[in-house]
Chain A
Amino acid sequence: MALHPTSTITDVAIIGAGPTGLFAVFELGLLGLKAVVIDVLDKPGGQCSELYPEKPIYDIPSWPVISGQELTDKLLEQIAPFTPEFRLGQLVTHLEKRADGRFTLQTSDGEMIDAGAIFIAAGAGSFAPRKPKLDGLDAFEGTSVFYAVRKRARFAGSDLVVVGGGDSALDWAIDMVGHAKSVTLMHRSDRFRAAPASVAAMRALEAEGKLRFVEGDLHALSGAAGQLDAVTIKTKAGLETLPATRLLAFFGLTIELGPIGDWGLDLADGKQIRVDTEKFQTTTPGIFAIGDINHYPGKLKLILSGFHEAALASHAAFKVVRPEEKLRFQYTTSSSELQQRLQVGDTSKAA
């Protein structure tokens, strides 16, 4: 893997923008290290923002109660002075340690990042759309079958089948009426996990004959050369084949380890990266693993553990990235150097 001429150069590349990755930006920032944070999701916050934004968390030290999204928002506010660069909606696909001791990391968009150290803060792995198990599905993915709408124009004039009962499924089914030639919404039941207003809007379009709603499950796909022409569905009445040139499936997200499994790291149970408990470093010097993704004796998968691990790994990473410099241990309350970095306090005095 050659170093791309336009690659971003940073002190530390953080894989994963969950609470652990975000807090690592802070700990690194205090030490004067810059970070680039990459996440496959299109927003920061990891599990807290993706799986439980509204749920209250009660065991964040000094926050008697805080919701998943509030925690993310507070972390973003706390790290703002360090102006981290985010690369969202990108999966880290490759990681390589170069002969010069630095790292090259590549994302699914082909971007190269050149970093002095790597923090893997990948939680339970990367989020990916859940896929139906159907023969020949691969051949249609990206041409006729989609799990998200990136380019609305792709659906113009199509016979569209939307599958799912959540907000995404309902909102897109409603949106595509008039844009697609025909819209069928299919869900396993008539229970929806969506805003009542969306359900009402969908029912109104159904009553006007502009959209068809059917209760059922996907059974088979047919078509040729990546072009879907029909889907067979299984309803209570039996099998039914309907013309379909586009399928939009919303089955929620699943979490899988993903490319991390191919980076030659020592894995416990094939899922967790083994680290030491002094630096939270992996078996490859310069690559650290923090938060839910790591494993060591006594590990607890708690947000607060990730915070602690981020602090220790940052101090260890400093010595990797700036081997010639001496690391001074300081408190934010009393160090004007740290306060300058945080852009707070009396910044006129020297440390």
Chain B
Amino acid sequence: MAVLHVTDRDGRNHTLEGAEGWRVMEILRDHGVGVEGICGGACDCATCHVIVAPDWAGRLHPAREDELLKLDELPAIEATSRLSCQILWEEALDGLTLTLAEVN
């Protein structure tokens, strides 16, 4: 079973089961860890903003232009910030570690 590890906004850690072909946002949303995904993954709401563990950042598919533009719009981001709706889950991501960004 491939899993991802997420730290929520209260600092609690959760290990969640991935779902092949799903967006990471959808996995986080359906597990109720505090991701709303208001726009359903359209890069429009940034409610799915996460900070990826540094050793994982380079192993993900790089962000596309619309994700970068949305991230640039936010008042504060980290070097490894991503919109989790733009990361598709696959077995190879087993162990992916991320932290939910503050809502803003």
Contact = CB atoms under 8 A, between A and B. Distances in A.
B73 A133 contact: no
B42 A124 contact: no
A187 interface: yes
B38 A131 contact: no
Interface in B70-104: 72-77, 102-104
B104 A189 contact: no
Contacts of B104: 130-131, 133, 251, 254
B45 A193 contact: no
Nearest to B74: A251
Contacts, number: 59
B35 to A, nearest CB: 12
Among B68, B73, B74: residue with most chain A CB under 10 A: B73
20 contacts: A51-B38, A51-B42, A52-B42, A55-B42, A124-B36, A124-B38, A130-B73, A130-B75, A132-B76, A133-B102, A164-B73, A165-B73, A166-B73, A188-B72, A191-B68, A251-B74, A251-B104, A252-B73, A254-B46, A255-B45
Interface centre among A131, A133, A187, A252 (most CB of B within 10 A): A252
Q: Secondary structure of the B side of the interface?
A: loop
Interface string B38-52: 110010111100000
Contacts of B36: 124
Interface centre among B39, B69, B75 (most CB of A within 10 A): B75
A217 interface: yes
A52 B73 contact: no
Contacts of B44: 51-52
Interface of A: 47, 51-52, 55, 124, 130-133, 164-166, 187-189, 191, 193, 217-218, 249, 251-252, 254-255, 269
Nearest to A249: B75
Given A51-B44, A52-B44, A130-B104, A255 B72 contact: no
B63 to A, nearest CB: 11
Contacts of A187: 72
Interface of B: 32, 36, 38-39, 42, 44-47, 65, 68-69, 72-77, 102-104
Contacts of A188: 72, 77
Nearest to B71: A188
Contact of B76 (A55, A124, A164, A217): A217
A165 B76 CA distance: 14
Contact of B73 (A47, A251, A255, A269): A251
Given A51-B45, A133-B76, A255 B38 contact: yes
Given A131-B104, A133-B104, A254-B104, A51 B74 contact: no
A132 B75 CA distance: 5
B42 A193 contact: no
Given A52-B42, A165-B69, 10 more contacts: A47-B39, A130-B75, A132-B75, A187-B72, A189-B72, A249-B75, A252-B74, A254-B46, A254-B103, A255-B38
Contacts of B72: 165, 187-189, 191, 193
Contacts of A55: 42
A217 B73 CA distance: 11
A132 B44 CA distance: 18
The 6 closest A-B pairs by CB, nearest first: A132-B75, A193-B69, A252-B73, A251-B75, A51-B44, A188-B72
Contact of A47 (B38, B46, B47): B38
Given A191-B68, A254-B104, A133 B75 contact: yes
